[in-house]
Structure 1
Amino acid sequence: MADLTTKMINKYKASTAENTTLEVVAVDPRVWDQTAHQFDDICQEQMNVFAAERWPQMNVDCLHFLRDGELVAGCLIMHRAAPLGLGGLAVCKWGPVVLDTTAVDAEAIHGLAIDALVQKYAIEGRLMLSILPRPRPSEVNFATEQLLARRFKPGLGLPFPNRYFVNVHVDDEAMRASFGQKWRAHLKKSEKNGLEFEHCDVSQMPVFYDLYRSMTDRKQFPDYSAFDSLHHLMENIDDSARPELFLVRHDGEPVAGAVIFATGDTAVYLYGATNDEALPLRAGYLMHWEIMRWLARQDRIKWYDLGGTDGFLGLHQFKNGMVGKAGIVSEVPRVMNYAHWMLPRLLGETLFFARDTKAQVMRWIKSRKTIGPND
C-alpha cells in the first residue's frame, strides 16, 4: 500500500489451520496517526498522539500487520523494560485493530496479531504482555475469548463494568422508536425549548473547555480522566482522525457540549459538559439525539459507545434509555496478562498488584467525596 512508507524490522509467523502468516512492520508514529483512520477498529486509545501524551514514561511502538503484503491489522503498544534484564511491561489498550471488521476472517486476523505480539514482546522481549480488549456491543467479547485460549490471565475488573452502545446503523424513525419511553418524553420536551444544535470546528474548543471546567467546579468531584490532555489531542491529531465537537446553545449562549471520536466503525463519547441551564432545558437529550442523527449519516459508523457510569444511578437511567431496544449494554473486559518467563511474571504481577491497590484506594476516596451527609 502507498501508506506503508515504513522500514521492516522483523518478521514473525503466526499460523492458523490454513497456515496463514503475518508480517510485522514498524511504522513511524507520525505515519501511524496519519493512516490510522483506515482501520475499522481504530479508537483514541490506539492513537500515538493520545498515548504518548497520556503515558510519557512509556516507549511506544506502532505496528502494521501484513498478510501476503497487504495491510490487515495494526497495533499501538506501549512498553518499558526494568533494569538489569528483570523483565518489564508491554501494554496494549483497545487493540490490536483490524482493517476491515466486516471481513469473514476478521476475528482470525485479530488472533494472528495477538500471536505476533506474544512472540515479539512476551517471548523475545521477555516482558509481561498486558492487553485490554476493546469493549464491544456483544454479549461475548471475542478478543477476551482469544486471549483466554492463549493462556492470558484475567486481571482486576472495573467495579462498574457496564458499557452502553447505541445502534446508529438505522434510520431516524427506528432509532427514535428504540429509545425508552421516558427518554423519548424528555427528548420531545427538549425540542420545544428553543435549543440550537451546532457541529463545530476545532476553533470552538475554548467554549467547550469553559463549559467543562464550570461543570466540574459546580459538581465538585475529582476528575481522574485524561481531560487535561484533550487540548493536545485536538491540536495535534491528524485531520483524518480528529474528534468531532458539538455544542448546544440557548438564546445564543452555550449550555452543553460533547467531544466524540468518530473515526472507525464505532464512535466514542469522550467528554461531555453542561452548565446550570442545561438540566431544566433537557439540553443533553437534544444534544445526544442530534449527535446520533449525525453519526447515522456517516456510512462507516454503526455504533455509538457512550462509555460507562461509575455507578451513578441517574447516569445509568439516562444512558440505558438512550440505548433502548436496538442497542446493547455489555461489559468492559478485564485486562488480560501473559508472561512467558518467570522473572517478568513476578515483576509484572507485583506492579499490577500495586497499581490495582492504588486504584481501589482512589475509588474509595472518590466515593467518600461524592457521597455527602445529606445524600
Structure 2
Amino acid sequence: MLAWVDREDRALAAEYETFVEGRGSFFQSLAWGEVKENWRAQALLSRGEDGGVRAAALVLSCPLPLVGGSLLYCPRGPVGDWSDRSALGDLTEGFARLAERERACLLKLDPLVAPGGPEAALLQSAGFRHRPGEGDYRTLQPRFGYLLPLADRGEEELLAGFSQKCRYNLRRAIKKGVECWTGGAEELDAFYPLLEETGRRDGFVIRPRAYLERLLRVFGPARCRLFLCRWQGRPVSGALALRYGQTATYLYGASSGWGREAMPNYLMQWEMIRWALAGGCTVYDFGAVPHFLEPGHPAYGIYRFKKGFGGRVAEWAGEFDWVYRPVSAALMWGGQRGLQLAQAALRAGRERRGRE
C-alpha cells in the first residue's frame, strides 16, 4: 500500500525517519529535504499487509525552465527490502503520480546497490533504464567511494590498520602541536576562508556559506559537526562530517597551503574517525575516490591519502532513469552534455597549466 509522508504528521514522519535511518543514507532523510531548499522535497513509503513499512523514498523536484516541467531525483534511494517486488511497485506508482503532479520529464534514482547485482536487475526489470556513468555520462553522485569498517574495532586496532606512513604523519601532527577542535556554525568564520582557498587552488565550485549553516542547523550538533585544525594559532585545515544511522560521512574538506608540513589533515581525519566510533557507527565514509585506478592522474592523490587509513573502495551501480516526457528529457540531456563538455575543457586546461 502506497502512502505519502506529511511532515506535519509527527508520528508518520518519525516512522519514516526511523525506517530510513536504520537502512539508508542521510540523503534519504527528511532533514536532507530541508537542506535542499531550492528543491521541493516529498517522501513516500510502501506498507505491507501487516501495516509495517517495506520501502521508502525521498524525492526532490527541481524545475527546468528551459525545457519545461521538472526533474525528479531520489538521491541514494529508494530504501527498503530489494527482494520485495510489490514494494517497488508501490513506489513506482508513487513516482508516476508525482511526475504527473510536477510535470516531470525524468526521474533519476541512484541507490546504494552494487553493479550487476539482484537489486540493479530488479530495477531494470521494473522498467528503469540503467545509466552506469561510463564514458561521457557523469552521475550526480560519485560511483566510487572509500569506506572504513568500524564494527567491533577499537582505536588501537584501527591504528594498526593504517599504513606506516599514515601513522607517522599522524604522530608528526600531534608532535608538532596541531590541535583539532570540533564545533558548529560558530567555527565557520575560520573554516569558510579555508574552503574558499581550496576551491580556488583545486578548481572546484564550493557551497555557499548559508548552505553549510543550514546543514549544521537542520541535522543538529549530535549528527553534524565541523572539525577545525589549528597550528601555531592559525586555522590550517577543516572538515564537515555527518553521522546518520550507523555511518559517519566526511562531507566537505578544506586546507591551507600554509602549514602542510605539520600534516593537519591526518589528525583531522583521525578525530572524525574517533567521533564516528563514539557515536556507535560501524562505517566511516571517506567520500569519493576519483580516478583511483589512474596513478598518473592529478586526482589520484585523493585516493592515495584515503587508502593510508585502511578500508576499501566501494562501487555503486550508478543511476536508473524513468522517462515520462521524452522530448523534454532529450532537451535536458542535450544541455547536460554541453555543460559536461565545457567542464571537461576547463578541467583539461587546469591540468595542463598544472603540468607546465
TM over 0.5: yes
Query: In the alignment, which residue of structure 2 is the partner of 1:133?
Result: 111
Over 3 Å counting, the alpha-carbon distance change for 1:172 and 1:146 in structure 2 is: farther
Give runs of aligned pairs for residues 1-375 of structure 1, distance below 5 A: 12=1, 23-28=2-7, 38=18, 39-47=21-29, 50-51=32-33, 54=36, 56=38, 58-67=39-48, 68-79=50-61, 89-98=71-80, 106-108=81-83, 113-122=87-96, 125=99, 128-134=106-112, 143-155=119-131, 157=133, 158=138, 161-169=143-151, 170-217=153-200, 219=201, 221-223=203-205, 229-235=211-217, 237-239=218-220, 242-299=223-280, 301-311=281-291, 312-322=299-309, 324=310, 327-339=311-323, 344-372=325-353, 374-375=355-356
Check whether the contact 1:156–1:356 (CA below 8 A) recurs between aligned residues: no
Deviation at 1:131, TM superposition (A): 0.6
Deviation at 1:262, TM superposition (A): 0.8
- What are structure 2's unaligned runs of at least 5 residues? 292-298
d(CA) in 2 for partners of 1:48, 1:64: 12
Tell me the matched-pair count: 332
Over 3 Å counting, the alpha-carbon distance change for 1:284 and 1:140 in structure 2 is: farther
Q: Could you tell me which amino acid in structure 1 is paired with residue 127 of structure 2?
A: R
Deviates more, 1:67-76 or 1:268-277: 67-76
Equivalent position SS for 1:199: strand
d(CA) in 2 for partners of 1:206, 1:29: 34
Equivalent position SS for 2:308: helix
d(CA) in 2 for partners of 1:34, 1:201: 25
- What are structure 1's unaligned runs of at least 5 residues? 1-11, 13-22, 99-105
d(CA) in 1 for partners of 2:259, 2:91: 46
Over 3 Å counting, the alpha-carbon distance change for 1:272 and 1:129 in structure 2 is: same
Check whether the contact 1:244–1:261 (CA below 8 A) recurs between aligned residues: yes
Q: Can you list the C-alpha shifts for 1:224-259, whole angstroms capped at 9, x where unaligned?
A: 657762223223x15377522112222343222110
Check whether the contact 1:265–1:303 (CA below 8 A) recurs between aligned residues: yes
CA RMSD of aligned residues (A): 3.4
Check whether the contact 2:25–2:244 (CA below 8 A) recurs between aligned residues: yes
Equivalent position SS for 1:306: strand
d(CA) in 2 for partners of 1:143, 1:243: 30
Over 3 Å counting, the alpha-carbon distance change for 1:278 and 1:97 in structure 2 is: farther
Check whether the contact 1:195–1:248 (CA below 8 A) recurs between aligned residues: yes
Deviation at 1:61, TM superposition (A): 1.1
Deviation at 1:272, TM superposition (A): 0.9
d(CA) in 2 for partners of 1:309, 1:225: 20
Deviation at 1:37, TM superposition (A): 5.4
Q: Could you tell me which amino acid in structure 2 is paired with residue 248 of structure 1?
A: C
Check whether the contact 1:27–1:63 (CA below 8 A) recurs between aligned residues: no
d(CA) in 1 for partners of 2:221, 2:55: 18
Over 3 Å counting, the alpha-carbon distance change for 1:114 and 1:72 in structure 2 is: closer
Q: Could you tell me which amino acid in structure 2 is paired with residue 26 of structure 1?
A: V
Equivalent position SS for 1:108: coil
Deviation at 1:290, TM superposition (A): 1.8
Q: Can you list the C-alpha shifts for 1:28-75, whole angstroms capped at 9, x where unaligned?
A: 27958877753224544334554466472x432122443333345432
Normalised to the residue count of structure 1, the TM-score between the two structures is 0.75
d(CA) in 2 for partners of 1:203, 1:36: 31
Deviates more, 1:259-268 or 1:307-316: 307-316
d(CA) in 2 for partners of 1:274, 1:87: 40
Q: Can you list the C-alpha shifts for 1:74-127, whole angstroms capped at 9, x where unaligned?
A: 3210236889xx9754321111235xxxxxxx4436x65432221122378455
d(CA) in 1 for partners of 2:209, 2:110: 21
Q: Could you tell me which amino acid in structure 2 is paired with residue 117 of structure 1?
A: L
Q: Could you tell me which amino acid in structure 2 is paired with residue 295 of structure 1?
A: A
Normalised to the residue count of structure 2, the TM-score between the two structures is 0.78
d(CA) in 1 for partners of 2:312, 2:247: 13
